[in-house]
């Protein structure tokens, strides 16, 4: 049986995305989403975390937000489900919102992950829309 392919969305940007505070928040969000992706891969899911992949690349290429979204949408198309890691700011994130709207337009299951303890995440289906 094929493993479920999951696109793991979470907020990345902060403020104007410039300066040491923004860089720290980017680093911290990348670290968190990478740990969560690894956790779920260990549970048998094939997880694609765009931030895990692109955070290091962002040092070498400057793309517009719309370019990143176009890139992300292609990966969402390839996945079975979209999961949102509900880090601080997830409900205000324009990128997460657009990813969720796009996934739903493609009839993908959308699941929200909220931490309820060490390495324990709750599924929730209708926390946003």
Domain spans in the chain, listed from the N-terminal domain onward: 5-124
CA distance 17 to 94: 14
Asked whether the predicted pLDDT for residue 121 surpasses 70, the reply is: no
> What is the per-residue pLDDT across 4-40, written as a single tens digit (0 to 9) for each?
999 999 987 666 666 787 778 778 888 889 999 999 9
Class (C level, CATH) for 5-124:
alpha beta
User: Sorting pLDDT into bands at 50, 70 and 90, what band is 56?
Assistant: low
Strand order in the sheet with 81-85: 46-48, 5-9, 81-85, 109-117, 120-124
Angle at CA of residue 90, ends 87 and 93, nearest 5°: 140
């Amino acid at each position: 049986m094929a493993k479920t392919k999951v696109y793991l969305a979470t907020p990345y940007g902060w403020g104007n995305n410039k300066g040491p505070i923004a860089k720290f928040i980017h680093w911290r969000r990348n670290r968190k989403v990478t740990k969560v992706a690894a956790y779920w891969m260990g549970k048998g899911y094939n997880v694609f975390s765009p931030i895990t992949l692109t955070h290091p690349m962002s040092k070498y290429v400057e793309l517009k937000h719309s370019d990143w979204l176009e890139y992300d949408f292609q990966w969402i198309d390839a996945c079975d489900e979209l999961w949102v890691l509900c880090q601080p700011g997830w409900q205000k994130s324009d990128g997460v919102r657009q990813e969720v709207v796009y996934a739903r337009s493609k009839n993908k299951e959308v699941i929200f992950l909220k931490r309820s303890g060490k390495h324990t995440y709750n599924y929730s289906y209708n926390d946003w829309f």
